[in-house]
Amino acid sequence: MARLLDGKALAARLRATLAARVAALPFEPGLVVVRVGEDPASGVYVRNKDRAAREAGFASRTLHLPEATTEAELLATIASLNADDRVDGILVQLPLPAHVNTQAAIAAVDPVKDVDGFHPLNAGRLASGLPGLVPCTPRGVMHLLAESGARLRGARALVLGRSQIVGRPMAQLLLGADCTVTVAHSRTDDLGAECRRADILVAAVGRAEMVKGGWIKPGAVVVDVGINRRADGTLCGDVAFGEAGHAAAITPVPGGVGPMTIACLLENTLDAAIARRMAA
């Protein structure tokens, strides 16, 4: 039976460690989440982030702007947060309404406050192997892999998905940990064959239970980033969890990567707060 990588418990431990570090600071690190419009899933995510941040002692607030907010108005809001010394981290919740250019909003955030790690400068630093703010979900996956005890150096890692948010930065982090990395996507010829070679398999596709048991190498460590809703309303990942008993370890959905993403947002905010004050 595969070992369960309990992201909920690991995230609780990480949040407790961060809370202790925050309590020892002479200031409260400030996080602002900017939400535009009424995307229902975003509402849940933003509330969860805000609650976790407050519980850990961060000065957290959410700016909820109306759906009709123009791109210029959003960019002006971000500019004022960039200039606000009390704000250490800025997160623009995605997706944005269609009339707003997402890349423009991402690029407007001051890279030193970019706690989502999506700014091209931080993406470039990661790709160059330089320190910087790293996207929260891949950072959380690295914590889970450390917890699994898996040997990363020299291991074959397969990242399924190549998005700016998960797949690409995930591949860079695994490369930085000396894995031999393959990135697969919707144009990959034989996904099953690529997966079967992987000692470390990170699935970030958004297709319910697409990774079948027969695609998983015996003894592999499987991290399932996907969050999908079945027809009956229940959640599942990108991996057929019930067929993965021969893996060494696997994350559940829910309760795997999701809680780690939020904990790593707090970790990034604390990193950003300390780095900004050290630079001042």
Q: Which residues bind ligand NDP (CB under 6 A)?
A: 137, 161-163, 165-167, 185-187, 191, 204-207, 225-228, 257-258, 261
From 93, 114, 172, 217, the catalytic residue: 93
**CB-wise, 262 or 270, nearer to ligand NDP?**
262
Tell me how far, at minimum, the Cβ of 195 lies from ligand NDP, in Å: 10
Q: In what order do the strands lie in the sheet with 59-65?
A: 59-65, 30-36, 89-92
Token pair recorded at residue 25 = 């600071």
**CB-wise, 30 or 167, nearer to ligand NDP?**
167
Tell me how far, at minimum, the Cβ of 252 lies from ligand NDP, in Å: 11
Tell me how far, at minimum, the Cβ of 276 lies from ligand NDP, in Å: 25
Would you give the DSSP letter of residue 193? H
CB 256 within 8 Å of CB 144: yes
Cα 58 to the center of its chain, rounded Å: 19
CA angle, residues 176, 177, 179, in degrees to nearest 5: 100
Tell me how far, at minimum, the Cβ of 204 lies from ligand NDP, in Å: 4
**CB-wise, 112 or 165, nearer to ligand NDP?**
165
Among 106, 100, 116, which residue's Cα sits nearest to residue 36?
100
How much is the CA Rg of the chain, to the nearest whole Å? 19
From 49, 172, 199, 217, the catalytic residue: 49
From 50, 88, 114, 116, the catalytic residue: 116
Residues marked as catalytic: 49, 93, 116
